[in-house]
Structure 1
Amino acid sequence: MGYSRGGAADGPGSVQYIRLQRGSSRSDIFPKLVAMQKSLKARNFSVFRITGAGLPNKRKLVCELENWGSGGAEVSAQLLGEFEETLLDHVEMSLLPLVWSGARSGSMVDAGEFSPLVRRLETVALPFSGVVFPVRLGALGNGYVAFFSDQLSLTADVVIDLHVESCQIMMDLLALDERRSVPAESLSEREITCLQLAGDGRISEEIAEKLGLSVHTVNAYLGSATIKLDSVNRIQAIAKAIRLGYIT
């Protein structure tokens, strides 16, 4: 993700600092959404996540973040009331953005040259125009980042950039969920270092030589890190450590 390592403890570049920089709370994610909203010249945003994945007839979209204030629940309910099933099906089949023009006079979405690569939704209920970016991360973490306005003008560069940033938003939310499920005992510096090197493709013998440790000690660090991360093997532990911001 472009993060660097090294530097004084707890300062910029340290492992602890890097972890804090990667969305340690929802309040860290909110400004990112506001910046995305401004780049699109939209008036509001909502983030929807799919719950009940894998359970027949239990899937639904839940609004996790929004900046509508007191009217947010009503707008979200309108969107889901009209399009929830469509959105649930769409994210399983396609990652193309969806757009709609609102019912309010003059409300519209202009996708310009990107028109062939968006799907238009027909609506008569929603007053505002909007665009939703689908995000599919796997079994968990799927959903949409939505932006609303009277008028939206979409260029290819803006759509691509915001779609990439929407994926990062959903990854940050998933990481927060996983962080809450991680045991209170955090990884030690040695465990993090061994995981980072393993994630870089080093085998235990190479890690041991680089760190001046025995292979047995390296495997012990990797094993304890895997247990702390509630993972079934080293590969899963590395993937989870990346999502949680321990390593890059």
Structure 2
Amino acid sequence: MGYSRGGTADGPGSIQYLRLQRASSRSDIFPKLVAMQKNLKARNFAVFRIAGAGLPNKRKLVCELDNWAAGAVESGSQLIHGYGETLLDHIEGSLLPLVWNGSENTSFADAGEFASLTRRLPPAIVPFSGIAFPVRLGALGNGYVTFVATSMELSSDVIIDQHVRSCQVMMDLLALDERRSVPAESLSEREIACLQLAGDGRISEEIAEKLGLSVHTVNAYLGSATIKLDSVNRIQAIAKAIRLGYIH
């Protein structure tokens, strides 16, 4: 994501990271965003995903979730109008969070321990100050988790932690999309069992011994599961099975 911290080997994209608590619906994602908002001492949040990826001049930010206050529903439009093109361009080359100062007599420090972890946008284009955490998960999973406020409690640890949580939010949204398009041919109990053990780090020989099968049969189950999950290899199949809730 543009920075690292000790103990984050199981970061976004890793199998262990995907084992974090998954959302079964959008109503499960909302409390996570509220908790992040409280941690940042923010006023509101909004999640934007990028639509039209790969199509020249067709990319745009689409608001997926938000809790803009009553009477402030135009805030999302203001953010897109003021910084939309900048946000779309930024995520192509950097995953550093973006911060900006609005016209509400607020400001984030121009220097400090978190300065190298963020990029600053031109001030006063929108009336509110905020921070946007970019997440890049592929053509369908790119976007921003944003928070706005009159002031926020920012530090290196807070920024890194909230960025990781933003990745989980976007992964939840992507998983929900995938779940709605699960292949008609569901995984069998044997395929699920083999994937679960493979996800636990077992090799084919160990899985075969555990389930009382031949190594050839185990590899066949893993291969068929990979095909059903429309994955290119076993690791991707395990990751997708976790996101879809087949295994944990």
TM score, norm. by length of structure 2: 0.83
Once the two structures are superposed, residues 113-137 of structure 1 have per-residue CA deviations (whole angstroms, 9 ceiling, x without a partner) of 2123321111334221101111112
After TM superposition, the structure 1 = structure 2 runs for residues 99-248 of structure 1, keeping only pairs within 5 Å, are 99-104=99-104, 106-110=105-109, 112-184=112-184, 186-248=186-248
| Aligned-residue offset at 1:25 | 0.5
Matched residue of 2:147: which SS? strand
Matched residue of 2:74: which SS? helix
Could you tell me which residue of structure 2 aligns to residue 22 of structure 1? 22
Gapped regions of structure 2 (runs ≥ 5): 1-9, 12-17
| Aligned-residue offset at 1:108 | 2.1
Q: CA 1:69–1:180 in 2, change beyond 3 Å: closer, same or farther? A: farther
Once the two structures are superposed, residues 60-84 of structure 1 have per-residue CA deviations (whole angstroms, 9 ceiling, x without a partner) of 1111000115545411110111111
Once the two structures are superposed, residues 121-160 of structure 1 have per-residue CA deviations (whole angstroms, 9 ceiling, x without a partner) of 1133422110111111233311110001112231111111
Question: Are 1:42 and 2:42 an aligned pair?
Answer: yes
Q: CA 1:24–1:186 in 2, change beyond 3 Å: closer, same or farther? A: farther
1:110/1:153 contact within 8 Å kept: no
Question: Are 1:93 and 2:93 an aligned pair?
Answer: yes
Percent of aligned positions with the same letter in both sequences? 76
Q: CA 1:29–1:60 in 2, change beyond 3 Å: closer, same or farther? A: same
After TM superposition, the structure 1 = structure 2 runs for residues 41-80 of structure 1, keeping only pairs within 5 Å, are 41-71=41-71, 73-80=73-80
Matched residue of 2:108: which SS? strand
Could you tell me which residue of structure 2 aligns to residue 10 of structure 1? none
RMSD: 2.6
1-structure distance, mates of 2:209, 2:125? 65
1:182/1:230 contact within 8 Å kept: no
1:50/1:59 contact within 8 Å kept: yes
Gapped regions of structure 1 (runs ≥ 5): 3-17
TM score, norm. by length of structure 1: 0.83
The count of corresponding residues between Structure 1 and Structure 2 is: 232
